[in-house]
Chain A
């Protein structure tokens, strides 16, 4: 905003406020903490002023004004909660509910529905209309999104998202009035890599994600601030969890990374992840068999095995592992002689969101490839070739090893597998340390542009699974002295001391929206 721009003084609900010229009444009211009811207005979209829900009284003006587009004027006196404004809102609500099925008990949006909220706040208790309601039915608009036409209030947020942000205007309002509904040109479904944002922008339960349909009530969900692990963009998200499962992902606003949006790929990945067998308990090889052990025994065995081992240490890591985990594995390797660590990244076509080009589904379909690189791991195509003739210690962190060759790790003196799922190759390990998924622990990812972002724990890890920054730091302490880390923050602090890509950063500085280290920033401007 131009600091030179003129300030306008006005009064909203009896409180004076100064805002820059050109501000709308709705925005000015937000400065005072007054939320003017709205449907069609969304902060990420244009304002068509068509739902008429934000009508407010401006003293001395003949008609109520739509707050979402009416700009402030000097000396304006605005009332958002007076009789006239409430009457206007009540009228809008009555019309919206005229043909609404009132099926809240089976509606996915119940509990997070703006129609429910405002009807409760300003609507009337009883229906005056005696006519039968118009029934329009429901249909898919994409293979994963169902449209309930009867619940739709025709705010056109989804139409404008596809037009302005996706820039593929496939959705339109068809017919008019009580017969109006949202549809594409043909009866065919449309597909777009960012289509599920239309579910997020929908203020009611008209557009719902089939993945989530009838799975949970919104008020039963716990919300956890996290980072989407689907690609190297690192979209800020909120995990919606229930009964120790992630049931949905919603984008969390971050103007630097993903604004209000995120792609469909990330949502699918996380919700569908974790259905298979999990490693729940440490395993130690005894007489050719992997035997379950408690952590004390597993750590004893690890310390014992690492003492006096020769041949250096190599590692295969997964670029979806957190910086803290990658760091501890790096430190463990240093103890026995770092001999190189490698990772591979699965890739897919890049898909840019045209209306917010900072955001794209990136080619690298892993959250932390940049972090792994910053911590000294190398990106390779053939992770198995890098360790083929290795005779020393082999660490594998989170990499699934699904396509490992028959003779994988046969020559290594010690094979430690740290991960959450056990493939046949992982079962060849001498020691297995079960670790949680990203949703089950605290940590950080470094996104494609070097931005370090925190994710927080939303789920209980299964069984005895513990993050490697915790268990590994105990091993480190016993091998080389010092204290084990008691939190991910402490592990990160040690990491930031050691690696310049993280220098000056701490959990406090990163907060919940991420930060770029001074070193990384100057490096970026220099290159």
Chain B
């Protein structure tokens, strides 16, 4: 897998090409090159924590305690500090998530235009509750704050794909489209 991204945005693209293998080796091969180039962007290793965590999530699908400990080692931080940062940001999954992470916007615009019904429909069809992963390991549905597309409610983001103007009755076909 080649990596043509400019160093300035490398690692800022979360799970686009996620391998999502929880046991995948961290930062080897092409990821090692990206890891090194991330480090060159900052005056110290601590500052590289966020992009490195993003990359770790891209590789493994979620940030496990083992991942945090490994990242702490590489960046010369304490594991507790890494956990503190990783838990601060909701974009890091601290538990395994399904192959499709369905993020429904519940910001004020979407909320007024039926985000609640859309969420309900997703939960119904995937047979899960908020934050849980379906039995087949395919879906996790979460509510997120504003996704920045308020003109097109309800906004739904599946992994890195954004869907606009999603209505409750369209949810079923959206899910089919994913497979």
Give A186 to B69 CA distance when docked, in angstroms. 10
Question: Which residue from chain A places its CB closest to the CB of B77 in the assembled complex?
Answer: A169
A205 → B minimal CB distance (Å): 23
Find out whether the CB atom of B69 lies under 8 angstroms from the CB atom of A185.
yes
Q: Given A169-B78, A169-B81, A170-B78, A185 and B65 touching (CB < 8 A)?
A: yes
A interface list, Cβ under 8 A from B? 169-176, 183-186
B83 close to A (CB within 8 Å): yes
Contact B65 A174 (CB under 8 A): no
* Distance to closest chain A CB from B90 (angstroms): 9
The 5 closest A-B pairs by CB, nearest first: A172-B84, A185-B79, A172-B80, A185-B80, A174-B87
| Residues of B contacting A175 in the complex (Cβ-Cβ under 8 angstroms) | 87-88
Partner of A170 from the list B68, B69, B80, B82 (CB cut-off 8 Å) is B80
Q: Mark B85-122, 1 if CB is under 8 A from A, else 0.
A: 00110000000000000000000000000000000000
Q: Are B84 and A173 in contact (CB under 8 A)?
A: yes
Enumerate chain A residues within 8 angstroms of B68, measured Cβ to Cβ: 185
Residues in A whose Cβ lies below 8 Å from that of B79: 185-186
Q: How far is the CA of A174 from the CA of B94 in the complex (A)?
A: 12
* Complexed CA–CA distance, A169 and B84 (Å): 12
A148 vs B79: C-alpha distance when bound (angstroms): 23
Total interface residues in chain B, CB < 8 Å: 12
In whole angstroms, how far apart are the Cα atoms of A184 and B84 in the complex?
9
Question: Closest residue of chain A to B89, judged by CB?
Answer: A176
Q: What 4 additional pairs, Cβ within 8 angstroms, besides A175-B87, A185-B79?
A: A170-B80, A172-B78, A172-B80, A174-B87
* Residues on the A chain within 8 Å of B81, using CB: 169, 172
CB-CB < 8 A to B83: which residues of A?
Answer: 172, 174, 183, 185
5 cross-chain CB contacts under 8 A: A170-B78, A170-B80, A172-B81, A173-B84, A176-B87
Contact assessment for B65 and A186 in the assembled complex, using a CB-CB cutoff below 8 Å: yes
Closest CB of chain A to B125's CB: distance in Å? 28
Assess whether A176 is in contact with B78, with CB atoms less than 8 Å apart.
no
Name the interface residues of B43-89: CB closer than 8 Å to any CB of A: 65, 68-69, 78-84, 87-88
Query: What residues on A are CB-neighbors of B82 within 8 Å?
Result: 185
A185-B87 Cα distance, complex, nearest whole Å: 11
CB distance from B73 to the nearest CB of A (A): 12
Q: Which residues of B contact A183 (CB under 8 A)?
A: 80, 83
Known: A172-B83, A174-B83. Contact between A185 and B78, CB under 8 A? Answer: yes
Which single residue of chain B is at the shortest CB-CB distance from A186? B65
Q: How far is the CA of A186 from the CA of B82 in the complex (A)?
A: 12
Q: Is the CB of B87 within 8 A of A184?
A: no
In the bound complex, do residue A169 and residue B80 qualify as a contact, i.e. CB atoms below 8 Å apart?
Answer: yes
| Smallest beta-carbon distance A402→chain B, Å | 43
CB contacts under 8 Å to A, within B136-151, are none
Q: Is the CB of A176 within 8 A of B88?
A: yes
**B135 CB, min distance to chain A CBs, angstroms:** 26
| Residue of B68, B83, B84, B88 ringed by the most chain A CB atoms within 10 A | B84
Nearest to A179 among chain B residues (CB) is B87
Q: Within the complex, what minimum Cβ distance (angstroms) separates A139 from chain B? A: 15
A336 to B82, CA, bound (A): 70
Task: Give the nearest-CB partner of A162 in chain B.
Answer: B80
Chain A residue at minimal CB-CB distance from B88: A176
CB-CB < 8 A to A186: which residues of B? Answer: 65, 79
Q: A residues within 8 A CB of B78?
A: 169-170, 172, 185
Residue from A170, A171, A175, A183 having most chain B Cβ neighbours under 10 A? A175
A170, A175, A184, A185: residue with the most chain B Cβ atoms closer than 10 Å: A185
B41 to chain A, nearest CB (A): 25
Chain A residues whose C-beta falls within 8 Å of the C-beta of B88 in the assembled complex: 173, 175-176
Cα distance, A174 to B83, chains bound together (Å): 7
Closest CB of chain B to A171's CB: distance in Å?
Answer: 7
Residue with the greatest number of chain A CB neighbours at <10 A, chosen from B78, B80, B82: B80
B-side contacts of A174, CB under 8 Å: 83-84, 87
Name A174's closest neighbour in chain B (CB-CB). B87
Which B residues are in CB contact (< 8 Å) with A169?
78, 80-81
Q: Which residues of B contact A172 (CB under 8 A)?
A: 78, 80-81, 83-84
In the bound assembly, the distance between CA atoms of A185 and B84 in angstroms comes to 8
Cβ of A171: which chain B residues have Cβ within 8 Å of it? 80
**How far apart are the CA atoms of A475 and B79 in the complex, in Å?**
65
With both chains docked as a complex, state the minimum distance between the C-beta of A177 and any C-beta of chain B, in angstroms.
9
A319 to chain B, nearest CB (A): 39
Instruction: A196 to B103: give the CA distance in the assembly, Å.
Output: 43
* Residue of B with least CB distance to A170: B80
Chain A residues contacting B69 (CB-CB under 8 Å) are 185
Instruction: Enumerate chain A residues within 8 angstroms of B80, measured Cβ to Cβ.
Output: 169-172, 183-185
